[in-house]
Amino acid sequence: MGFELPTYREPDFSVQPFASSPDATLVAVAQPGVAPDNYHGTTIYPEYIKVGGAWHLATESRMDCVIVVREGPELEVKEFRRLEVGEQVVVGRTEDASQGIFVHAGGFEYAASISEPFVFRTGRTRETAYSMDYDRLYDLLGYERDNGYVVWVLGPAVAFDSDSRGAMSSLIEHGYVDAVLAGNALATHDLEASIFKTGLGQNIYTQVSEPGGHYNHLDTLNKARAAGSIGGLIESEGIEDGIVHACVKHGVPLVAAGSIRDDGPLPETIASVYDSQDAMRAHTRKATTLIALATQLHAIAAGNMTPSYQLVDGRVRPVYLYIVDISEFAVNKLRDRGSLEVTSIVTNVQDFLVHLGRRLL
């Protein structure tokens, strides 16, 4: 069965309370990076603002931001730190149209939820059955390859296993990946695997620790810094496999966000947390599907920066979020952010990627 996007129903603005609602109140920013008092904080849902007597949809979303109204009118969802003096910000703390602000929480049609007051196994645990989730994901990725923008958030565990590393590389090569968000570790250990066939000194197939293997990732970093870039390292070492190589070869952006504990780091690793956020946001704001694998902090960060819906060819569609981790806490942490469509799968990422590769490739 082919994948179909759910139907979105826009509010009927010709009826009450919308017809008699006032225009939203706008207040100019007086201090850089500081929102006016009583600012409206954005949610994860589609939001409409009344300007000039008409209702307008904010065409992207991000939770915990503000809405800036520009000429047109054009609505921009903007982080506090990026606010500039003079920008017109929507103020008001109600979301029921009474102040020209309406948050549309029920716009998408999903299957009816279970209404029984007492049921078992409503959470997502290692005992949950995931067969249907996999089947839906296969269909979704088949659709998204031609119609969407799929962002993957990868932890280093993806590169620690020969088969998962190969499956992820093949997904990139076959067009199922539009951007990769990760840290210094994922890129470093993937390149280590390309050069030494190890991840943190362990053989990525046998998992046997090699003598002196704890130097391998440091040697990889040193070689990369000597080469001046990841591309330079790939050329100088004759690298022809791996996730990083596939990204470079196929022009898939790889954002490596730095952390306090990074060693090296790789030349392209972004040191500033806010520069990292901006680089990640450049891709999450375009995402139609985001899949996070075995990286709790990156998954939560990327999930909170990802829109819950997109406006594509004039049609509002949901953004699908998947989180895959062996830790029940990690998957439920992102799921609890309240996104419109989050699917969590409790398993190790090696099994997940091998399953995905066997079905899609």
Average pLDDT over residues 328-335: 78
The per-residue pLDDT for range 92-117, each reduced to its tens digit, is: 999 999 999 999 988 887 544 444 44
Q: How confident is the model at residue 48 (pLDDT cuts 50, 70, 90)?
A: very high
A 10 A CB-CB count for 360 gives 16
Considering the segment(s) 25-103 as one domain, its CATH architecture is Beta Barrel (2.40)
Q: How confident is the model at residue 120 (pLDDT cuts 50, 70, 90)?
A: very low
In this predicted structure, what is the pLDDT of residue 340? 56
Burial 272-287 (b: 16+ CB within 10 A, else e): eeeebbbbbbebbbbb
Average pLDDT over residues 123-133: 80
Same fold, 25-103 and 131-360: no
In this predicted structure, what is the pLDDT of residue 341? 66
Half-sphere exposure of 206 (CA within 13 A, CB side): 6
Query: Tokens 């090699």 correspond to what residue?
Result: 210
Helix (H, G, I), strand (E, B) or coil at 256: strand
Q: What percent of the chain has pLDDT over 90?
A: 82
Q: What are the start-end ranges of the E strands in the chain?
A: 25-28, 47-51, 54-57, 66-70, 74-78, 88-91, 101-103, 150-154, 179-183, 198-199, 202-203, 254-257, 289-293, 309-312, 315-318, 320-325, 342-346
Considering the segment(s) 131-360 as one domain, its CATH architecture is 3-Layer(aba) Sandwich (3.40)
Average pLDDT over residues 116-143: 77
pTM (2 d.p.): 0.92
Least confident interval from 109-123, 184-198, 250-264, 281-295: 109-123
**Chain-wide mean pLDDT for the chain?**
92
The per-residue pLDDT for range 305-331, each reduced to its tens digit, is: 998 899 999 999 999 999 999 988 888
Average pLDDT over residues 230-256: 98
Which residue ranges make up each domain of the chain?
25-103, 131-360
Average pLDDT over residues 224-229: 98
The per-residue pLDDT for range 3-28, each reduced to its tens digit, is: 899 999 999 999 999 999 999 999 99
In this predicted structure, what is the pLDDT of residue 220? 98
What values do phi and psi take at 57, rounded to 5? -85, 135
Average pLDDT over residues 60-80: 95
A 10 A CB-CB count for 70 gives 10
Q: Is the pLDDT of residue 118 over 50?
A: no
In this predicted structure, what is the pLDDT of residue 127? 77
